[in-house]
Amino acid sequence: MPEEKTFHMSLEEFRKNGYAVIDWIADYYNNIESFPVLSQVKPGQVRASLPDEPPVKGEAFDAILKDINELILPGVTHWQSPNFFAFFPANASGPSILGELLSSALGVQGMLWMTSPACTELETQVLDWLVDILGLPEKFRSGGAGGGVIQDTASSATLCALLAARERATDYKTNSCGCDGRLIVYASTQAHSSIEKAVKIAGIGSENLRLIDVDDKFALRPDALVEQIKKDRQAGLAPCFVHATVGTTSSNAMDPLPEIGRICKEEGLWLHVDGAMSGTAAVCPEYRFIHNGLELADSYCFNPHKWMFTNFDCDCFYVADRAALIKTLSILPEYLRNKATESGAVIDYRDWHIPLGRRFRSLKLWFVIRYYGVEGLRFHIKRHVDLARNFAKWIEESENFGLVVPPPLNLVCFRHKGGDSINRQLVEKLNRSGKLYLTHTTLNGQYTIRFSVGQTHTEEHHVRQAWQRIQETAGELENA
């Protein structure tokens, strides 16, 4: 009898095609500098290249890979290029890619301890390791009242912290009765946009978000925070949450945690610290100054998927009191009840974040930490900071460019002295060239160029070439 067609990929086909994909990835990284960093396609171009109808019959895997090269790659902005200096990095690495591959193969749904004990317990252990690696406060360890969990992004971590703060401030009544419009949230004018989205989702409302003025280094001013809290209390409102940042998106500014933390303790406010980008720097003891005062925080997060060579998505979120978080987010329908949960001896991470389902994210992070070791992580972070500081030095020595703010770590904010127009033209022309990718911000009302050093494979010669291209392109614009 003829063999029945299953439409599945056989294990032998999987082995053969898997080797082909690994070879493709290795070749991609080997040739990545040959591609324009910023995709040069026009809106709609990729979609127009795709068939209008899905295939009725399955296609050969070779044809699929061929279309990756011909149809997909032109529409890819190459975040893993060593000439990527935009935004903040979203890094990958060999160990992380392989860990993600294994996670995908296992296909774990780790909502409960019992649905995959290894998924839960490895995550707990890796998060405790990171307390040591970054020198975080002991209260964030799982052995005490606190603990850590992997979220998808810092945006989700901020939302979870805000929800827990909301419930703590209302004696856990808001979950059942809704917000009354009195809760007030504070962040600096330089805070990430995720805090505005969080107050909307949490039902607090954007009108109840107070954006506090910053100093000349773009860090939140504690005196302005105290003044605003006082005004809100006098108006009969209920301050409940402060969002502080170590490493703001625009300028890498560091909010003064010791002063902010003392204010939060005195006022009974939840302090959440967002270290999404810069937190990784603390693997190096010499950069742990960024966490001074973190012992006063109720929650903290940072993104290994930015600067710790772990591919997106992977945010590490810590709380000092996990009971507050769990009480806020826990729901236990009958179909999730089980003996392990009821024993109280296990962690069910479904109670620590918004979704029920969760992937085996700790596997790729475990691979990265084990492969690089703390020594390897420190080597690369220190190298990136040194490269950024060298770039900043070249800016300071230039006649035509100047720093907008001294760089605390690996982000350099600078501008051409010729004004906003030439700076805007400079970024646009450099990005169109495909040779490097830069982004901008506005600081002190001025168009400012951001140069972020942190891509996994960026070396000194990439930074030097970038500076040379910036100077040459600026010269062309000056003489146009």
pTM of this prediction?
A: 0.94
- Structure confidence at residue 2 as a pLDDT band (50, 70, 90): low
Tell me, what DSSP letter sits at residue 280? G
pLDDT digits (tens, 9 = 90+) for 14-24: 999 999 999 99
Q: Which residues of 338-360 are buried (b: 16+ CB within 10 A; e: fewer)?
A: eeebeeeebbbbbbbbeeeebbb
Indicate the domain borders of the chain. Answer: 11-34+39-76, 108-359, 380-478
pLDDT of residue 334: 67
Question: What is the CATH code of the structural domain delimited by 11-34+39-76?
Answer: 1.20.1340.10
Tell me, what DSSP letter sits at residue 150? E
pLDDT digits (tens, 9 = 90+) for 132-191: 999 999 999 999 999 999 999 999 999 999 999 999 999 999 999 998 999 999 999 999
Which tokens belong to 40?
Answer: 């040069």
Whether 344 shows a pLDDT value over 80: the answer reads no
pLDDT digits (tens, 9 = 90+) for 287-337: 999 999 999 999 999 999 999 999 999 999 999 999 999 999 988 776 678
pLDDT digits (tens, 9 = 90+) for 41-91: 999 999 999 999 999 999 999 999 999 999 999 999 999 999 999 999 999
pLDDT digits (tens, 9 = 90+) for 415-467: 999 999 999 999 999 999 999 999 999 999 999 999 999 999 999 999 999 99
Tell me, what DSSP letter sits at residue 80? T
Find how far residue 295's CA is from the centre of its chain. Answer: 22
- Can you name the CATH fold of 108-359? Aspartate Aminotransferase; domain 2 (3.40.640)
Query: Which CATH superfamily is 380-478 part of?
Result: Aspartate Aminotransferase, domain 1 (3.90.1150.10)
pLDDT digits (tens, 9 = 90+) for 215-261: 999 999 999 999 999 999 999 999 999 999 999 999 999 999 999 99
pLDDT of residue 333: 72
pLDDT digits (tens, 9 = 90+) for 384-403: 999 999 999 999 999 999 99
CA distance 478 to 474: 6
E-state strands within 291-445? 299-302, 315-319, 401-405, 411-416, 439-443
Give Cα separations from 63 to 67, 369, 454 (angstroms).
6, 36, 35
Whether 114 shows a pLDDT value over 90: the answer reads no
- Structure confidence at residue 342 as a pLDDT band (50, 70, 90): confident
Spell out the alpha helix ranges (H) of 2-153.
Answer: 11-31, 45-48, 61-67, 94-106, 117-134
Report the C-alpha dihedral over residues 325, 328, 334, 340, rounded to 10 degrees: 20
